[in-house]
Structure 1
Amino acid sequence: MRFDTFSRAFVPRTAVFAFVAIGAGVCPALVLADETCNSPYMSNLIKGQEDFLYVWTLGVPGMGDGFDKLVTLDVNPTSKGFGEVLAQVAVGGRGEAHHMGFTDDRRFLWAGGLDDSKIHVFDVSTNPAKPKLVKTITDFAPRAGLVGPHTFYALPGRMLIGALSNSKDNGGKTGMAVYSNKGDFISKYDMPTDQGGDGYGYDIAINPARNAMLTSSFTGRNNYMMDLGQLMKDKPAMQRFGTSMVIWNLKSMQPEKVLNVPGAPLEIRWSLKEGDDWAITTSALTSMLWLVKKDAKGEWQAKSVAQIGDPAKIPLPVDISITADGKGLWVNTFMDGTTRYFDLRNPEAPKQTYAKRTGSQVNMVSQSWDGKRAYVSSSLLAKWDKKGVDDEQFVKLFAWDGKELKETFTADFYQLKLGRAHHMKLGAAKPGTAMALAPK
């Protein structure tokens, strides 16, 4: 299957945003509130203030119903229920709830389990305040031979799913699968194991303007379902982490170059500034920021450009969120519970300019497009989260004025008997429809 029609029929989200802004006579920061990490093929973007925060939550035995669930929080400060839980939809089991992603039309939210490899599809369009579970896909492992659906990346009419493991040995060699928006399996693509490739996978990020797709790498099910303390003492297991990123030709879906990035490179963010052609990631085990950019000869290269905290203490950088103008980056480090801000105005030499301890442990960070709000959640993996009093489970909203993160509210997921708060997505009662320019 080829993706020529996808890249020709749609323009990058940055171009869409710029067009909407020009048409409205204001800058994009005043028009759109959507996250900066969504697929560039998404429509129905949020205009103005987001109303809801969807939180994909891990169930805890004996806590509430004990099941994984999608939790909806009211995050509109003008609402009487600001900061409160509006809805929760349990999926009837615990499968290591992890990441989720919208379909291109934003009508449905797909959420996966790293343990059971089930994919749950929620309708977030009919009643955005109260999502409804409409489908559970159970053939991911049988059809694709993949385990641990991690990244859900919208394509026109389809969902591209990056996996962490395989059904043969639960190791790190894995691939990606394509499904229709209706939930039908279409095709599979293996991560390369030649030309320096280790076959590992994690995140996916697409730059349509450069016909480039970039993937990163983590570890297999045998590792991520192991207790973190036990894992860190297991030397052979600690050798089974990804050391590569891959540049793919988007149209042909073929790998073009394997980049050496040791230390498990995780989340990938392309700069959203019009004309930029670089991406940034963090390596979890070596605590470094890596820049992926073309060199003077036009060849994609990856190089470490900044240190995150003290690598000797393994702060474990996890999620990142790039600003809409490509000038800044939020980085959460799990072990020390710190949210850091890096100045990216020179992506060749990022500089940390701010840090705040936002919890005893922190994982995901999601900021609004206007850069005024940042959401932080706590859980990494059920068996990797801290124990005892440090096992905090929350979602926090912070206001950002360019100088300080100021906490607006905290939803304590343990107190609410919801479980472990992981991935977050913004929602709106009436999202706007993005207007796209016809491609030349």
Structure 2
Amino acid sequence: MRKTIAIAALAVALGLGAASARAEQTALVLYETKGQQTVRQEGIAFIELDPQAPDYGKILAQIPLPPDLMSHHIFYNPTRERAYVTSLGRSELWVLDVTSFPYRTRVVAVPGCVVGEDLAFSEAQNRWYLTCMGSSVVIVGDAETDEVLETLPMPAPYPHGITVHDGIDRMLVTSTINPKDPTDAGESIVVVQPSTGKILSTHKVADKPSPSGTAPVEAFFVPGANPPVAYITNMIEGRIWIAEWQPESETFSFRGDFDFAAIGQGMALEVYFNAAGDRAYVTTALPGHLNAFDISDPRAPRHLYAAEAAGGAHHMVFSPDGTRAYVQNSLINIPGMNDGSISVIDLVAGKTLASIDTFKDAGLTVNTIMLTPRRKTFTPTDAMEATDAGGTIGSAGITGTQAVLMLEIGKRRQGTAASRRVMRAGRTAKTAAAWRVSLAPDPRRRSCRAHRLPRRRFRRESAVFPRDRGRCPDRIG
């Protein structure tokens, strides 16, 4: 019985290829079935964001996830060697080794964590910190071994957002919302000392009487600000609050700042900073916008424009040159805030350029978007390791005109003459068309079964492996 595999050309931003003149850009997207369906689908998808790529906007590969995981966010460790996927449905962290492809996955149990939300790292302490909104604790783990070290109960319930500043040995944790009762919202920021785990103080971030229900959801230290400054997004209030570090007293002062309700927006969520450090971009889920701020003075952010996105505008990534943003539109699959598209926004003009509807058209919605880490090269050794791992994705990583073609022939069994999986390095055509190859299981058969592989193309590829010249493309060794 023939074994048929699809050999797809994947962009280098998967981390599989060398750098090139073309600004290839691949992202990881967490997706799930849109709406409340009985049968759910959930997974991680690789999607191409380079508008010059032939497979722009397409799903290049997928990693299925359990339908009850309710994957929520992806966070990289400081060295960008691991990706951590938090879970709303299980007391688990899914840890992906992103240094080689395919990504190897480990499941880290985090007992006592209900509704895992955000993850932050302290390089000084070599620790990670996981907020658990359903059990009102922060789990502390070893950043090297991922061993759970301790559990920090929070004095204000429903922790969600978390940010660490090693320079002042401080961590800010938001008190957001009861996952079982959205009318029960928090209003506080908890200040923690990472080196000791000690709770230092709790601060109300609301002007209204308690319970104000402002629901601070995220906190971010502004890069390079001295003294340190943090931006806090109050989700339900729809407002930015600012925390300013006071070096003399070693405490924070808090004050309200920009009000999105005044410009017809609600549900303030994430904050992103450009590479130059003079712009901040804030997403709001209702009706869905990306807001740009001039933060030349981080203590006085100045609103520049609001670019239209879609319902649930949430996370975003930048293009390599920093002129475009790709905004993922969905907030935990809430009706009216789960559009499922990815908005492409011109950050210079403040205008929406396009909408990537790949997931939306498939009946899916997207929960987060993160760029894939880059690697220097993708070698035949990597290819052998990838196939030995039993990966199901027959693929090629392209960097400009460079490519690696994977041909799955079978599996080696303890040094016998059984068939094996191999990867061949070569050059690709200008297009990233999928190549379909039928392979016979018997390695002794010499008939060529690679279809749509031109003779001139095979000769070019054979030059990479001279000993194979003249052989069928699906027969090596």
What TM-score do you get using the length of structure 1 for normalisation? 0.71
Distance 1:246 1:120, change over 3 A: same
Q: Which residue of 1 aligns with 2:458?
A: none
Q: Is the 8 A contact 1:363 1:379 kept in 2?
A: yes
Question: Which residue does 2:137 correspond to in 1?
Answer: 174
Contact 1:243–1:260 at 8 Å: present in 2 too? yes
Q: Percent identity?
A: 17
**Residue 185 (structure 1) aligned with residue 185 (structure 2):** no
Code of the aligned partner of 1:397: V
Match of 1:267 in 2: 218
Per-residue Cα deviation, 1:303-333 (whole angstroms, up to 9, x for no partner): 102211338x671112221334443221211
Q: CA deviation at 1:372?
A: 2.1
Unaligned runs of 5+ in 1: 1-33, 35-45, 167-172, 224-230, 232-237, 433-440
After TM superposition, give the deviation of residue 267 of structure 1 in Å: 1.7
CA distance in 1, matches of 2:229, 2:321: 21
| Matches of 1:88 and 1:400, distance apart in 2 | 29
Change (3 A) 1:91 1:283: same
TM-fit CA distance, 1:204: 1.4
Task: Work out which of the residue numbers 189, 209, 219 in structure 2 matches 1:245.
Answer: 189
Match of residue 68 from structure 1: 42
Question: Structure 1 pair 365/214, CA: closer, same or farther in 2 (3 Å)?
Answer: same
Equivalent in the alignment of 1:132: 103
- The equivalent residue for 1:30 is none
Matching of residues 69-84 of structure 1 within 5 Å: 69-84=43-58
Q: CA deviation at 1:132?
A: 3.2
1:332 aligned onto 2:283: yes
**Residue number in structure 2 paired with 1:317:** 268
- Residue 7 of structure 2 corresponds to none
- Provide structure 2 residue ranges, at least 5 long, that are not aligned to the other structure: 1-12, 14-18, 207-213, 378-477
> Quick check: 1:350 aligned with 2:301?
yes
- 2:134 aligned with 1:165, yes or no? yes
Is 1:105–2:79 an aligned residue pair? yes
Partner secondary structure for residue 192 of structure 2: strand
Cα-to-partner distance string for 1:281-313 (whole Å, 9 max, x where unaligned): 1111111111100348533111102211338x6
Cα distance, 1:408 vs structure 2: 5.2
Q: State the alpha-carbon separation in 2 of the partners of residues 60 and 307 from structure 1.
A: 30
1:334 Cα deviation (Å)? Answer: 0.9
Render the CA deviation track for 1:348-388: whole Å, top value 9, x for unaligned.
Answer: 44332201221144222333586323120111113x232xx
Would the alpha carbon gap of residues 276 and 409 (structure 1) be closer, same or farther in structure 2, given more than 3 Å must change?
farther
Distance 1:222 1:300, change over 3 A: same
CA distance in 1, matches of 2:140, 2:343: 33
Read off the aligned partner of 1:177 and give its amino acid letter: V
Corresponding residue SS for 2:330: coil
What's 2:412 paired with? Answer: none
- Residue 148, structure 1, aligned to residue 115, structure 2: yes
How has the CA–CA distance of structure 1 residues 123 and 78 changed in structure 2, closer, same or farther, with 3 Å as cutoff? farther
Q: Which amino acid aligns with 1:396?
A: S
**In the alignment, does 2:260 pair up with 1:308?**
yes
* In structure 1, distance between residues paired with 2:75 and 2:347: 25
Larger Cα Rg: Structure 1 or Structure 2?
2
Q: Letter of the aligned partner of 1:303 in structure 2? A: R
Cα separation, partners in 2 of 1:55 and 1:72, compared to 1, 3 Å: same
Specify which of 345, 357, 363 is matched with residue 398 of structure 1.
345
Between Structure 1 and Structure 2, which shows a larger proportion of helix residues? 1
Secondary structure of residue in 2 paired with 1:309? helix
Provide the rounded CA distance (Å) in 2 between the counterparts of 1:369 and 1:307: 31
User: In the alignment, is residue 114 of structure 1 matched against residue 65 of structure 2?
Assistant: no
**Cα-to-partner distance string for 1:267-291 (whole Å, 9 max, x where unaligned):** 2221112634111111111111111
Hey, which of these two has a bigger chunk of strand by percent? 2
1:407 aligned onto 2:349: no
TM-superposed deviation, 1:53: 0.7
Q: State the match for 1:201 in structure 2.
A: 159
Q: Separation in 1 of the partners of 2:57 and 2:205?
A: 40
Q: Which residue of 1 aligns with 2:428?
A: none
Supply the distance in 2 between the matched residues of 1:62 and 1:205 (Cα, whole angstroms).
32
Q: Which range is displaced more, 268-277 or 175-184?
A: 175-184
1:214 to 172, 175, 179: 172
Structure 2 residue matching 1:281: 3-state secondary structure: strand
Distance 1:154 1:50, change over 3 A: farther
Pick one of 338, 350, 365 that aligns with 1:420: 365
Deviation by residue 1:236-278 (Cα, 9 ceiling, x = unmatched): xx2x212111222232222222221131112222111263411
Distance 1:309 1:87, change over 3 A: same
Q: CA 1:346 to 1:155, structure 2 compared with 1: closer, same or farther past 3 Å?
A: closer
The match for 2:384 is none
Question: CA, structure 1 residues 90+179, in 2 after alignment: closer, same or farther (shift >3 Å)?
Answer: farther
Q: CA RMSD in A?
A: 3.1
Partner residue in 2 for 1:3: none
Aligned 8 A contact 1:287 1:310 in 2: no
User: TM-score, normalization: structure 2?
Assistant: 0.66
1:98 and 1:422 in contact (8 A); partners too: yes
The residue type paired with residue 95 of structure 2 is: V
Residues 63, 78 of structure 1: alpha-carbon distance in 2 compared, 3 angstrom cutoff: farther
Conserved in 2, the CA contact under 8 Å of 1:330 and 1:341? Answer: yes
In 2 relative to 1, CA 208–158 (structure 1 residues): closer, same or farther, beyond 3 Å? closer
CA distance in structure 2 between the aligned counterparts of 1:370 and 1:274, rounded to whole angstroms: 23
Shift of 1:117: 3.3
Cα deviation for residue 222 of structure 1 reads 0.9
Match among 230, 234, 237 for residue 286 of structure 1? 237
For the 8 Å contact 2:316–2:370, the answer to whether it is kept is no
Q: Whole-Å Cα distance in 2 between the matches of residues 375 and 276 of structure 1?
A: 31
